[in-house]
Amino acid sequence: MSPSLQLSDALSTACTRTIRNAVDFFLKKQHADGYWWADLTADSTLESDFILLELWRHAPVNGVWNPPTKTRIEKAVRSILARQLPDGGFNIYPQGPSEINASVKAYTALKLGGVVLGHMDADDARLVKLRERIMAMGGLQAANSYVKINLSLFGLFPHEFTPTIPPEGMLLGRLIYEISSWSRAIVIPLSIVHSMNPQRPVPAGFTVDELLTPGVSLEFPNDEGFFSMRNFFLKADKVLKFWEKYGSKSLRQRSIRRAESWILERTRYTDGVAAIYPPMMYVIMALDLLGYPKDHPDVREAEQQFFNLLVDDERGFFFQPCFSVVWDTAIAAYALAESGAMPQESLERAADWLITKEVRRKGDWSVKRPNVEPSGWYFEFANEYYPDIDDTAQVLLALAGAKGTHAVQQDETIKRAVNWLLAMQSKDGGWAAFDVDNNWEFLSSVPFADHNAMLDPTCPDITGRVLEAMAACGVPHDHPALRRGVDFLVRTQEADGSWYGRWGVNYVYGTFLALRGLQAVGESDREAHVLRAGEWLRSIQNADGGWGESCASYDRNTYVEAQSTPSQTAWAVLGLIAGGDTTSSSLQKGIEYLMETQRPDGGWNEELATGTGFPRVFYLQYHYYRHSFPVLALATYVKAKSGASGN
């Protein structure tokens, strides 16, 4: 036996030991019902918004703010302060720079918390330093529209300088379904709140005027020129503001009632509207303004679902943006099934649980696909109106390897989900997250679209995962939908050989999923686009053998290096193997990195955010990524080296 083969065999044997340790870790973490579920964490903005919501829910009386939730507010203040950077500001991803929106939100929340707790005011050294950092970044005028809207609800920013969000949009047919599902869920309740211009009370003398940059206009900036869509929408906003003052009051009320009905309908069969933090917060506000008493069942339900997102225990005090349980379970089950080391009973329980979460009702997606039978999976425990394509593809991958106790039911479920996924392909051949052909680019120029998430365009990462899932479920490689998906990936490859990752950070994520999808549907690893992707992955490997990528890559539109992480190293390893590389020193070093960084308990540590919510705006830490993806990478490597088919 040659030395290289001996080394290969030894590495595979060591991989197998590492996998078994990880399997033991997952066995201990599996819930009795069969699922895996880890925390989903973000930045300080959720805790900051919570304090503002408490100001809404428990308003000051005669200028004195004495809320019954002082203890929670104090914990939120401590949680926020724990993340203050040395320069005084707050970032939106670990090890990132100060960011204006997070910093303004933190300043407002901390100053409000100081009013309640009595030990921090505008002269506090921490607030002084934070204020200086905010001013260096452009002051309050540089914040996005959602920050300004939230402040305007309390008279802390002039309402006339916030973008109009007209509820009359509810009367314009399918228009609301041309914006992304998450923006739709935010904008509809917010349209009620903002249109009523509530001007809720604040503590006596409270203001954030000190964050305004002197001499800088409060008007919306127009950096696209006179003959631009941006300028068109800015002019339209002035018309809408005129309408707000002098338009039909009956039409406004009709619009608000339509929005109210839409919201209430989407609180059924779900854990809050869209099951995500921002809409749930605005629904609480909207129901209040609509006159619902505090003991009304819908109000109680809205508040209960919102506070279910709160973690307040030995892990700390923080809000999750949503629950990632279906996603966590699907990735873990897929990886563990691929490992071949997971007990069948455990995989059965995971598969059975996932099957119970299949969507069987029509949701927002059906507006464009009215004749398609409902199927698919959502992200959370319950979110029937919003199954998403990415979760559905990942669950199908899990069910292809993890067999439940009811084979016929599982087969029927898989068939429905495959048909649903095929129906959700967009015209360009790719797949998006929640909707079909959600790509009206001009809508990104509306004034309240500066959260960078107005649309839900097709993307390489989801398209690659869908192709892999279709192949795993037996869809022929020559199926027209799959060939169009391949064409989409070839067209969207970056000049350097990578692919953009919309839902994970970033080019490493997009590249691994594109390569996995191409391999699964029979694309030759001798194709130029596959070879270029492999070369790119090898070129960005860190000296320690791992891979890492910063969230800053979204800001610079190119790969930005970062310290190695288990999840991104696993993605790179998976990408290399999918591209036909089973022997390079880069691959070997990546495998060694994963083995060497495993903890004694079988898991891995990871400090950086590798998940993406809204590029350049909101990032996520999926706390099972660091565990699940290394297992998948190591298992895939062992199969590749043993000559097994792998996927």
Residues carrying an active site annotation: 390
Contact 355, 290 (CB under 8 A): no
User: What's the per-residue H, E or C state across 67-114?
Assistant: CCCHHHHHHHHHHHHCCCCCCCCCCCCCCCCCCHHHHHHHHHHHHHHH
Name residue 429's amino acid: G
Contact 387, 380 (CB under 8 A): no
Q: Tokens 């079988």 correspond to what residue?
A: 602
- d(Cα 471, Cα 181) in Å, to the nearest integer? 28
The residues that bridge with 311 in the sheet, in sequence order, are 318
The residues that bridge with 383 in the sheet, in sequence order, are 270
The residues that bridge with 504 in the sheet, in sequence order, are 611
Q: What is the DSSP letter of 383?
A: B
In the three-class reduction of DSSP (H, G, I as helix; E, B as strand; rest coil), residue 506 is classed as coil
Q: What is the DSSP letter of 228?
A: S
Name residue 578's amino acid: A
CA angle 102, 104, 106 (to 5 degrees): 65
Name residue 461's amino acid: D
- d(Cα 502, Cα 612) in Å, to the nearest integer? 7
Name residue 217's amino acid: S
CB within 8 Å of 30: residues ≥ 6 apart? 36, 346, 349, 350
- d(Cα 171, Cα 624) in Å, to the nearest integer? 42
- Which stretch of DSSP H or E encloses residue 313? strand 310-313
Residue 279: CB atoms within 10 Å:
26
SS3 content of the chain, % helix, strand, coil (to 5): 55, 5, 40
Contact 181, 435 (CB under 8 A): yes
Residue 24: CB atoms within 10 Å:
13
Q: What is the dihedral of CA 284, 290, 294, 298, to 10 degrees?
A: -60
Query: How many residues are given for the chain?
Result: 647
Q: Tokens 């190293």 correspond to what residue?
A: 569
What's the token pair of residue 111?
């100053």
Q: What is the dihedral of CA 614, 617, 618, 619, to 10 degrees?
A: 90
- d(Cα 456, Cα 607) in Å, to the nearest integer? 28
- d(Cα 76, Cα 644) in Å, to the nearest integer? 51
- d(Cα 517, Cα 396) in Å, to the nearest integer? 14
Name residue 160's amino acid: E
